[in-house]
Amino acid sequence: MKGIFIGGFFSFLLFFIFPAQTNALQVTIDGEEQAFEQNVIIENGRALLPMRALFEAIDAEVYWDQAQQEVSASMGEYSLVLPINRTEAFVNGQVKQLDTAVKLVNGRTFVPLRFVSQSIGAEVNYEGDTQQIHITTEPKVKGEPPAEQLPSIAGIELGEDIGEVDALVEEARRITTSAYDFNWHTYHNQYENFIQVGVNAEEEIVALFTNEPTLWADSLPAYLQEAEMNQLFGDSISRIDKNGVSYQYEEKEEWSIHQFEDTYLTAFYDLQNEREVTGMKLIDADVKKEKDGFYGDPSTELQEAYEWQMLDLLNAIRVKHGIEPLTWHESAARIAKAHSEDMAENSYFAHDNLDGQSPFDRMRAAQIDYVRAGENLAVGQISSIYATEDLLNSVTHRQNILNADFTHVGIGVAHEDDKPYFTQNYVTPTK
């Protein structure tokens, strides 16, 4: 038997696929086709363009520092510094990570097109059918949006009566409780077009969540990044006042919270894909403020709800990546539950328990025969949604989530006071 991919964790993946013949790519800037002396370079699925030609085409100023071996550019309020052969850049003085390094080729500096363009406030879109890259230097979404730009999800808006929403023509696949005063109604078509709808006792929709970007595309661009979210809805807030008490939220790379009129919007980011928005949650401000503390009141019902919600979230992510959904494994779930309870009761966080047993030891003790297995852990996240998004942004945990060789999963949740512990046990049983 073999065990793979385990790692601890505290706390729509979109890549442009370009053709092998780079000279087939065409670049337009504000609708005008560009002709560059050097061909576009494709590396790791990313397009690199000659920087000087690109920036001069958009009226930016470009400088080369021979001593420091770095190129810089400025355009309006934006400044950009790119060291050669390094995977970091400086945007308005702040360090940003690149997944493809800037490089010199035949005396020309080639830069990652999408990163550089969006760092100066431009939009970049790739059309696979025409093999064109479109750069728009004046994006459509800027500044404070009017009220109608608050996104709907699948055409559904907060405040609607769930019985009157035409988009929800089928019965919910699952109804589970939440830490708020509403239940989550989960809808999907074999985990495609996944959406969770928060419904209160009066049948009013007070919360929405999806991890499918196309479901908010009728009101916002489907593939947003963090900078665009900030342009639309202002900077992320870090504090929410509830009943005279101010709650400070830890700054997280994985998500941001924005307040728009009487709604809180949380955007979840894919840190491994240039901080694209991979999920979006809307919740009525009054409903959010009514919840006690950060986590709400823990209960057995809430723990079970988190377990089933996490199964659905994992499967929606897998299906979006073309991977078969996981089947619930009851024995693995019991082991996961016991480990979460042990960590909560004894205030530790580790794969090995206090008796030195690994996840695989615990599975063997429960007589689970498997050909491969793995475990993901998370602690302290606000809910199953936040825990799943955090795990997806960790390289090793993402490998477990997106491992096509895993066929089953068991999930267990427990609380230490009100803080949740999440354990996911992945298995492929012996046939």
Tens digits of per-residue pLDDT, 337-375?
A: 999 999 999 999 999 999 999 999 999 999 999 999 999
pLDDT-derived band at 400 (thresholds 50, 70, 90) equals very high
Distances (CA, A) of 217 to 207, 273, 341: 18, 19, 41
User: Residue 303 pLDDT > 50, yes or no?
Assistant: yes
114 or 220, higher pLDDT: 220
A 10 A CB-CB count for 33 gives 9
pLDDT-derived band at 99 (thresholds 50, 70, 90) equals low
Q: What's the whole-number mean pLDDT along residues 255-279?
A: 89
In this prediction the pTM is 0.68
5 or 197, higher pLDDT: 197
User: Residue 35 pLDDT > 70, yes or no?
Assistant: yes
**pLDDT of amino acid 216:** 82
91, containing H or E segment: strand 88-91
User: Residue 2 pLDDT > 60, yes or no?
Assistant: no
pLDDT-derived band at 1 (thresholds 50, 70, 90) equals very low
Instruction: Report the C-alpha gap between 425 and 333 in whole angstroms.
Output: 7
The type of residue at 33 is E
272 or 300, higher pLDDT: 300
User: Residue 6 pLDDT > 60, yes or no?
Assistant: no
Instruction: Report the C-alpha gap between 83 and 77 in whole angstroms.
Output: 20
* The Cα angle at residue 127 between residues 126 and 129, in degrees rounded to 5: 150
* 280, 228 contact by CB (below 8 A): no
396 or 37, higher pLDDT: 396
pLDDT-derived band at 82 (thresholds 50, 70, 90) equals confident
Instruction: Report the C-alpha gap between 197 and 177 in whole angstroms.
Output: 11
The type of residue at 398 is R
If you ran DSSP here, which 8-state letter would residue 300 be given? H
pLDDT-derived band at 416 (thresholds 50, 70, 90) equals very high
User: Residue 46 pLDDT > 60, yes or no?
Assistant: yes
> What residue has token string 């769930």?
162
In 380-429, DSSP assigns E strands to 408-416, 419-429
Q: H helices within 254-299, ranges in order?
A: 285-290
In 15-69, DSSP assigns E strands to 26-29, 32-34, 41-43, 46-50, 61-65
Instruction: Report the C-alpha gap between 425 and 4 in whole angstroms.
Output: 11
User: Residue 269 pLDDT > 60, yes or no?
Assistant: yes
Contacts of 352-361 with CB under 8 Å at 24 or more apart are 358/3, 359/3, 359/6, 359/335, 359/425, 360/1, 360/3
Distances (CA, A) of 407 to 68, 211, 384, 393, 400: 51, 22, 21, 21, 11
Return the axis-axis angle of helices 300-320 and 384-392, rounded to nearest 10°: 40
**pLDDT of amino acid 138:** 60
> b/e map of 400-428 (b: 16 or more CB within 10 Å)?
bbbbeebbbbbbbbbbbeeebbbbbbbbb
363 or 77, higher pLDDT: 363
User: Residue 263 pLDDT > 80, yes or no?
Assistant: yes
A 10 A CB-CB count for 100 gives 20
Q: What's the whole-number mean pLDDT along residues 106-121?
A: 73
- Give the tens place of pLDDT for each residue, 230-250: 888 888 888 887 776 777 777
pLDDT-derived band at 391 (thresholds 50, 70, 90) equals very high
Distances (CA, A) of 130 to 27, 47, 117, 126, 296: 11, 16, 20, 9, 50
